[in-house]
Structure 1
C-alpha cells in the first residue's frame, strides 16, 4: 500500500520537472541561439517480491514477482536542431547554419555558443554583446597570404594601413579586329565600260565611256579632281578631248596625291577587273590616310552615284582600313605607391596575324631598361599564339624592366600577359569590334575603411586604395556529442567528458556549415509542441495526484476498520 504513495509522489515530482523544462523553453522562445530542452523519464527501482523459478520435471517455472516504485527524471537533453535565421542588418551579427559553435574565451576555459550577437570593443576585438567574451578566430598574414593555424582573440585592425604594392603583372584582354588591314589595299573601286559594252583599259578614250549607250563626257569638258589627305585638300583638272585616255586621268590623280609628302609613293593603276586602284605604301603605317576622293565632270553607273547634271560625284567605294593601332594607357605603381602611366601601343604587322607592341612610361620620362617592345601573334582561329620580347643584344628580356628614378625599388620587372597559348582567355584576334582592356596588380598605400564577413566567416578588410583582402577568420567548434555539453547560462555551453573534445577549425573545414553575416539564429523552441507537452505533463501530474488521493482514502478505510 505504501508503495503506491511513493510511486504517486515520484510521478508528481517527475512531471513537475517536466513542467520546469517546458516553462524554461517557453520563456526562451525569443532568446537568440537558445536550444530547447527535452525531458526523459525512466522507471524507478523495482522491488522483487519473488524471484523467477525455472521448470522442474513436470512442474512449470514461475516468473519473478516485482513491484515498481514509481518513475524518475532520467535526462534533460538540449536539442540542437537548427533555429530560424533572422536578418538584422548588423554587420557583426553572425548566424550558424549547420552543426557547430562559436568559440569564446572565458579566461581559464573556452565556452561555446550558437548566439552570434557580436560587436567590437574599444580595442577592436570582436566580443559577445551579452557576455563580453572575446570571439576566437585566425589571423591572416598578408606576407604569406594564408591564415595562421592557432586561433586566438579575433581583432579588427581598424588603425591598420595597407602598404603600397609595386606592379608586377600586367594583363591585356579583349579583341583586335582581324579584318583590319594596313594601308596599301584598294582605296578606289569602280568598273567603267565603253558605250558599246566593252571593258576598259588604260588606253580607253574618256569620250567612249558611258552606260546604257549614253556617253558620260563630251569634247571640251573638264574633269575636276579633289582629295582630302589627313584633312588637307588637294585638287587637279583634266581637260577632255578626243585623245584623252583613262591613263591621263590616272596620271593626273597620281600626281595630285604625290604632292603631299605624307602619301608620297602612292600609285594609281587599273586592275584586272577594270577598276581604278589607289595604293599607298605599306610603310606609311598610320601616319597618313586618304580620307575622301571626288571627281566631277563625268557620269558613271549607279555604283558611282551618278549625277546627270553638270558634274558627277564619285566617292570611294572601298576605303583602306587603318592598321590595328591601339594605344592603351594603364596606371601602374612603384614600390613607394606613386602612380605612373604605362602606354602600350599595338600596330598590325602587314600580312600576318600579328601585331608589334611598344611600351613607354610617363611619356618616356621613366627609363625602360629592357623589354620595351616585342610582338604578339595569333593562330588562324584567333586564339593566342604567344607574346615575345624583341632581343636586346644577345639576350631576350623576360619582362618589362623599369627604373622609376625616384628612390623607389629599382629595377622593377613587370610581366606582360596576353593569355594562355592556344586559348581565347586573353587577347584574341577575331572578326569583331576592337576592344582592349588592361589590368595590373599594383596599388598605392591605403587606410582601413570598413570590413565585411563572408559565408566562410572570413573578415574582408576594405581599404581606401580600393584593396579588399582577408584580415581574419572566425573559428568554429564541433563536438561528437553536442547534447553532452553543459549549460553555463547566457546561451553558453561548456565542454564535458561526455561531449567529446572540441574540434576547432575554420568553417569550411566542417562539412555542411556556413555562416550568414548580418543575421542571427533564433530560438528553436516550437510553441505548439511545448503546449502539447504541457498538456501531457498536466495530465500526468493529475493522474499521479489521483493515485495519491485514492491511496489516502484506502488507508483511511483501513484505519476505520478498527472502530
Structure 2
C-alpha cells in the first residue's frame, strides 16, 4: 500500500505543477492585447476498491490521486484602452475577429491590425482580416454576402455622380421694386464628373409678391420647353412665405420643379435635376411643407446652397467608425463606406483550440464559426482606435499561485513521508 502513496503524491505534484505553469503563463501575458486567462481544473483519479459493494457493508475505497481534467480559457471582457491608432479595433461583448492564414481561418480577440504594402488589412502575424466589402445601392455595406479579405487601394478613383438635386436657401427682398434682380450660383456635375457653373436669376415683376426665375449655364443649354424649362414664376403671400409655383398652390403641386440642361460642352449626358423650392417630408401630405425661398425684410441673401453631385475623386485616407465600418475619404470631399469588419461567434467557445499569437482554431467541440456584422446574433460592438486589454487579474493569480504552491509542497511531503516509512520497514530486518 505504501508504494501507491508515491504515485498518489506524484500525481499531485504533476497536477499542481501544471497549474503553476498555467498561472505563470497568465502573468506573462498580463499586457498581451486580447489575451484570455486560463484556469486549471482537477479531477480525482478513480479509486482503488479494497472491498466491493456486496450488500454487507459500505465499500472501502482508496483514491489513486488527481489529474488535470481541463485547462479552460476564461472569456470575461477585458478593459478597452484607447490607442489613437485608427486600425486598432476592440470588441465590446461577444465575438472574434476572423483572420485568414492562407489555408485556414483563425479567430482572435486582439484587434492589433494595420495595412500592409498591398493594401490588405492584416493582423500582426500577417494574416488578412476578413470582412464585408460589397455595398448596397444606398452606399451602405452589404453584409448579406460572404466575407472576404479587407483591402484598400490608396489612389483609387471613385466614380462621379451627376447632379439630380439643387437647392438654394434664399431670401428675396420684400421691398424690391419692378425690375430688381438677384443672382445666385452653384457648381453642378455632369455624368462624367465635369463641373459646370449654374446660376439662377430672380427678377421682380410689377405684381405684388411675384418674381420670375431663370437658370443659365454657359457650358450647356437650359431647356426652353415645358415641362422641364428653366424659367418660371413664384408668388409669395403677405407673410413672405412661398404661396404659388408656376400658378399652382404649393400645397397642391406634386413635386419640385424639374430642370433639363442639354448640349453640354463636355459631351456628357443631359443633366436633369430637381429645383427644390419646397421641403416636402411626406409626399402624401403636401400641406406639410417648408419653403426654401422666402421674401422677408429689405435684404437679398443666399444661405445654404446644396447639390448632390460630385466629380471623380481619389482615395486619400481611411478610418473606422465605431461599428467597424471602414470609411474612405476622397480628395473631392466624398466619404464612402468601403467595408465592415466581420465578427464570428461559436456555440461553444471553450472548445476552441488556442494557437500562437492569440489565435484560435475551431474544433468539433466548438462547432463551426457563425460570421456576420457587429451587433447581430448576440455579437458585440466593434470599437475603433482601441484595443482590448488582457483580462488577467493579478490579485487572483497571486492567490492561486500561493494555493497551488502549498498544494505542491503538501504532495512532496507525502512522498518524503512515505519514503521514511519504507525505510523504517527495511530497518525491521536488522
Task: Give the TM-score range, shorter chain.
Answer: 0.7 to 0.9
Q: 1:379 to 1:26 in 2, by over 3 A?
A: farther
**Offset at residue 555 of structure 1 (A):** 2.3
1:124 is aligned to 2:125: no
Cα 1:423–1:383 shift into 2, 3 Å: farther
Aligned residue in 2 for 1:77: 72
Task: Tell me if structure 2 keeps the 8 A contact 1:33–1:83.
Answer: yes
Distance in 2 between the 1:386 and 1:152 partners?
54
After superposition, give the CA deviation of every residue in 1:376-433 in whole Å (9 maximum; x if it has no partner).
578999887785699xxxxx99611111421433322101223014446662759789
Q: Pick closer, same or farther for the CA change 1:379–1:141 going to 2, 3 Å.
A: farther
Determine whether 1:503 maps to 2:370.
yes
Q: Are 2:356 and 1:360 equivalent residues in the alignment?
A: no
- Alignment match of 1:169 (pick from 158, 165, 168): 165
Look up the SS of the partner of 2:315 in the other structure: strand
By how many angstroms is 1:87 displaced? 2.5
Q: Secondary structure at the match of 1:102?
A: strand
Equivalent positions of 1:229-240 (< 5 A) are: none
Q: Is the 8 A contact 2:168 2:302 kept in 1?
A: no
Structure 2 residues not aligned, in runs of 5+ = 249-254, 281-285
RMSD: 3.1
Calculate the TM-score normalised by the size of structure 2. 0.84
Answer with 36-45 or 506-515: which moved more. Answer: 506-515
Counterparts of 2:40 and 2:155 in 1: how far apart (Å)? 51
Q: Write the deviation string for residues 479-518 of structure 1: whole angstroms up to 9, x where unpaired.
A: 1221211011111110011112101112243546222222
Cα offset, 1:42, TM superposition: 1.0
What is the rounded CA distance, in whole Å, between the counterparts of 1:123 and 1:436 in structure 2?
45
Corresponding residue to 1:527 among 383, 394, 406: 394
Partner SS for 1:399: strand
Match of 1:46 in 2: 47
The Cα of 1:536 is off from its aligned counterpart by 0.6
Answer with 1 or 2: which has the greater Rg: 1
1:279-294 equivalent positions in 2, closer than 5 A: 284-287=177-180
Q: Among residues 108, 112, 131, which one is paired with 1:137 in the alignment?
A: 131
CA contact (8 A) 2:235 2:242 kept: yes
Provide, for residues 271-307 of structure 1, a one-character-per-residue CA deviation record: whole Å limited to 9, x for no partner.
xxxxxxxxxxxxx4254xxxxxxxxxxxxxxxxxxxx
- Please tell me whether the aligned partners of residues 219 and 264 of structure 2 are also in contact (alpha carbons under 8 angstroms): no
SS state at 1:529 partner: helix
Cross-structure match for 1:156 = 152
Task: Give the 5 Å matches for 1:86-485.
Answer: 86-129=81-124, 131-141=125-135, 145-148=139-142, 149-173=145-169, 176=171, 181-182=174-175, 284-287=177-180, 327-346=183-202, 356=211, 358-362=213-217, 366-369=220-223, 370-375=228-233, 399-417=258-276, 418-420=278-280, 421-423=286-288, 427=292, 436-485=303-352
Contact 2:178 2:206 in 1 (8 A): no
Tell me if 1:541 matches 2:400. Answer: no
CA distance in 1, matches of 2:15, 2:116: 45
Task: Go from structure 1 to structure 2 and tell me whether the alpha carbon gap of 1:167 and 1:404 turns closer, same or farther (over 3 Å shift).
Answer: farther
The DSSP-based 3-state class of the residue aligned with 1:554 is helix
- Per the alignment, in what secondary structure is the counterpart of residue 132 of structure 1? coil
Q: How far off its partner does 1:374 sit? A: 3.5
Q: Equivalents in 1 of 2:275, 2:334: separation in Å? A: 22
> CA 1:348–1:101 in 2, change beyond 3 Å: closer, same or farther?
farther
> Per-residue displacement from partner, 1:157-205 (whole Å, max 9, x unpaired)?
213111222101123447x58xx6456xxxxxxxxxxxxxxxxxxxxxx
Distance of aligned partners of 1:560 and 1:326 in 2 relative to their CA distance in 1, 3 Å threshold: farther
Name the SS of the counterpart of 1:115 in structure 2.
coil
After TM superposition, give the deviation of residue 531 of structure 1 in Å: 0.9
CA distance change for structure 1 residues 111 and 425 in 2, over 3 Å: closer, same or farther? farther
Q: Residues 387 and 73 of structure 1: is their aligned pair in 2 closer, same or farther, counting only changes over 3 Å?
A: farther
**Residue equivalent to 2:418:** 551
Query: Hey, what does 2:381 align to over in structure 1?
Result: 514
Cα deviations by residue, 1:329-379 (Å, 9 ceiling, x for unpaired): 211111222222222345678898x764524233x5531112313355789
- Please tell me whether the aligned partners of residues 42 and 67 of structure 2 are also in contact (alpha carbons under 8 angstroms): yes
Show CA shifts across 1:520-554 (max 9, x none): 22222111211111001101111111222222222
Deviation at 1:21, TM superposition (A): 0.3
Q: Secondary structure at the match of 1:83?
A: coil
* Distance in 1 separating the partners of 2:376 and 2:109: 18
- Preserved CA contact (<8 Å) 1:384 1:419: no
CA change 1:388–1:454 in 2 (3 A) is: farther
Q: Structure 1: how far apart are the matches of 2:107 and 2:211?
A: 63
TM-score (norm 1): 0.66
- Per-residue CA deviation, residues 89-128 of structure 1 (Å, 9 max, x unaligned), is 2222222222111111112211111121222222111111
CA distance in 1, matches of 2:41, 2:221: 82
Aligned to 1:7: 8
Q: SS in structure 1 opposite 2:103? A: coil
1:562 aligns with 2:398: no
Closer/same/farther in 2, CA of residues 25 and 377 from structure 1, 3 Å limit:
farther
User: d(CA) in 2 for partners of 1:80 and 1:376?
Assistant: 67
When residues 355 and 460 of structure 1 are mapped into structure 2, their CA distance, relative to the original with a 3 A threshold, is farther
- In the alignment, is the contact (CA less than 8 A) between 2:220 and 2:263 conserved in 1? yes
Change (3 A) 1:430 1:406: closer
Contact kept in structure 2, 1:11 and 1:544, CA below 8 Å: yes
Please, which moves more after superposition, 516-525 or 140-149?
140-149
